Each structure stands twice: as C-alpha cells, then as structure tokens.
Structure 1
Amino acid sequence: MKHILLFSLVLMFNCTNKTKAEKKVSVNEKENLIALIDEIWKTEQEPIRRRDSLMSIYGVDSDIVKKQQFIIDKNLAINEKKVINILKKYGWPKKK
C-alpha cells in the first residue's frame, strides 16, 4: 500500500503542468518582432482586399481574380511558417 501511495505521489508531481520561465525580450528584438508581425498582416490582408475589389469589377471567375487568389494562397503558406516559428520561439501570448 505504501508503494502504491508513493508511486502515485511521484507520478502526480511529474505530471503537473510545469511552466517555462518567461524569456526576456530586448527592445530591439521586440521592435523586429512587431515589424515582422506587421509584414505578415500586410502580406495576408492586402491581396485579399485586392481580390475582393477585382471580384466586384470582373466577377468571381475572371483570370485576374484567379491570379490574385494564387498570390493569397502562396502568401498564406509562407506566413503560416513565419507564425509557427514565432510561436515556437516566444510561445503563446499571455495576459499580464
């Protein structure tokens, strides 16, 4: 019985949620991160706005809209990789 209790306690302590120490981010690194996130936002949203405008002018099935959709898909793949790298490096944002 003692061994079961001891094993349970050891297992419980090993399975608890261990928090990582927060990384200190320098001011320069924070500015670079903000610039990178702004770039991701622009490359994601501007082609979508262009495509929507072109759709209202030329229609959904026009070649120019299809080209714009190709740009959107290409940017999405690139931006997903960038965001994944940011999350791996800094983790999810937390409330302060």
Structure 2
Amino acid sequence: MRSTPEKVKVTRRGNKLYIEGIVEHNADDRYDFDKGSSGDWSGAYDLQEQGLAKPYMTRRNWKQRVTGTVDIDGWENGKGHILKNPKVKWDDFE
C-alpha cells in the first residue's frame, strides 16, 4: 500500500502542531494460489490446478481527510523537538 499526501498542511501555534489535509491511498494486491499457501488451504489451489480458477489483481484507491494535533514538549539538544500526545483522525473523503 502506498499513501501520498495531496494537500497536507502543518501549522504551528505556540507549542502545538495542527495537521490538516487530504491523503490518497493506493493498494494493489495480487492473489495467486501456491501449494502450501492460504489459497491451498482454502481449496483455491486445487481449483487453479483444474483450470477453474486463476490468479487475479485487486486495485483499490481512496482518499481520506486527516486532521490532528501534536504537542511540542521541549527540545532535545542535538536531536530536535520532542513531540508528544499525537491525536489524529481519519475520515473518508469521497
């Protein structure tokens, strides 16, 4: 699965980061049935061997709106900001 931010904005107000935007997810899965795999256990491998089933691909694409906050809790010398209390909400966009 691959997730790509389309329009994500992070804004700092005081010691808090505010996140808002849209993320697109893409997932392509190939289903093939090999001996010893879950396809074998379910009987799909036998069907494939008999010519009654074949491997296939599924493709899924969807967008979600993401909103959230993260607290900035100081600075660790040489490492950067210390981030705490992430609160993120995902909602279906389309």
- TM-score greater than 0.5 by the shorter chain: no
> Which has more strand, going by share of residues?
2
Task: Name which structure has the greater RCO, CA cutoff 8 Å, separation 6+.
Answer: 2
Alignment TM-score, normalising by the size of structure 1: 0.24
> Which has more helix, going by share of residues?
1
Alignment TM-score, normalising by the size of structure 2: 0.24
Q: Report the structure number with the largest CA radius of gyration.
A: 1
